[in-house]
Amino acid sequence: MRQFILYASKAVTSPDFSLDDLPGSGGRMDLVARCICNALWISHALRRDTCIHVVACGSPCPPVVISFYGDRLRGVSPDERNIAAWIKKVLAGKRKNPGIRIRRIGFPQLIEELASEGTFFYILDEKGQAISDVELKEDPVFVLGDHLGMPRNEEEFVARFEHEKISLGSISYLASQCITVLHYELDEKT
Ligand SMILES: C[S@@+](CC[C@H](N)C(=O)[O-])C[C@H]1O[C@@H](n2cnc3c(N)ncnc32)[C@H](O)[C@@H]1O
């Protein structure tokens, strides 16, 4: 299984955000939805072997981990508005989807949980080891920051466990673009 963790420092933790203003009103929920889309969708299909965990750390009641699982997702389309609408419904407790899980846990708990399963973490960092020089392990978990990057404390926390910092080059890409590149790298090798 491929897993992505997005540390979303401003992502809202209540359903009170507007679908008409995803970038502005709700702590960059556009960025969150775009990362989920790039993690899970290819043309006309879902990536059944992938999940993405969004660690939402914005107001009003952080943290919340929102996980989307490609093997269980039902009735969601890949546009940002539809993905955000599902986050809103699930946060409100109004709808359930077997492929979406919301938990009131934080980044450290998520990392510890995955580490206890023997996970190897790849921290995405422009200054890391070039990905072309790295033999990616099976069942990789990639950790990415949002538009503000990964906070130092969180990065240091992941670094307590088995990990490597990897770079896609010196250009700073959008987190969603990094996800597409990582999938491409893995797709090419399988
Ligand atoms: C828009 S970037 C963050 C930019 C932010 N100003 C910073 O300095 O971290 C979002 C995230 O994508 C990942 N990222 C972006 N470009 C990358 C690259 N060339 N190599 C590795 N990771 C990258 C990093 O995890 C980063 O935290």
pLDDT, averaged across the chain: 96
CB atoms within 10 A of CB 105: 15
Fold of the 2-103 domain: Alpha/beta knot (3.40.1280)
Ligand 1 pocket test, pick from 126, 147, 170, 174 with the greatest ligand atom count within 8 Å of Cβ, gives 126
Confidence at 27, pLDDT banded by 50, 70, 90: confident
Mean pLDDT over residues 82-100, rounded? 95
> Is omega for the bond preceding 60 within 30 degrees of 0, making it cis?
yes
Under 8 Å between Cβ of 181 and 168: yes
What CA–CA distance (Å, rounded) separates 150 from 141? 15
Model pTM score: 0.97
Q: What is the pLDDT of residue 24?
A: 80
Which atom of ligand 1 lies nearest, measured to the CA of 175?
A: 12
Which atom of ligand 1 lies nearest, measured to the CA of 126?
A: 20
**Ligand 1, atom 25: closest residue by C-alpha:** 144
> Is omega for the bond preceding 15 within 30 degrees of 0, making it cis?
no
* Equal CATH topology for 2-103 and 112-189: yes
What CA–CA distance (Å, rounded) separates 163 from 122? 6
What CA–CA distance (Å, rounded) separates 86 from 95? 8
Q: For Cα atoms 138, 52, 104, give the angle at the middle one, nearest 5 degrees.
A: 125
DSSP label at residue 16: -
Q: 134 CB under 6 A from ligand 1?
A: no
The DSSP secondary structure of 20-52, one letter per residue, reads: T-TTTTTTSHHHHHHHHHHHHEETTEE-TTEEE
**What are the residue boundaries of the structural domains of the chain, listed by start?**
2-103, 112-189
**Range of lowest pLDDT (56-60, 92-96, 143-147, 157-161):** 92-96
Q: What is the pLDDT of residue 109?
A: 98
Mean pLDDT over residues 83-93, rounded? 96
Question: What digits encode the pLDDT tens for the residues 33-42?
Answer: 999 999 999 9
Q: What is the pLDDT of residue 94?
A: 86
Mean pLDDT over residues 80-102, rounded? 96
Confidence at 25, pLDDT banded by 50, 70, 90: low
**Ligand 1, atom 4: closest residue by C-alpha:** 149
**Ligand 1, atom 7: closest residue by C-alpha:** 149
Kindly give the distance from the C-alpha atom of residue 174 to the centroid of ligand 1, in angstroms, as a whole number. Answer: 7
| CATH of the structural domain 112-189, one choice from 3.40.50.10470, 3.40.1280.10, 3.30.930.10, 3.40.630.30 | 3.40.1280.10
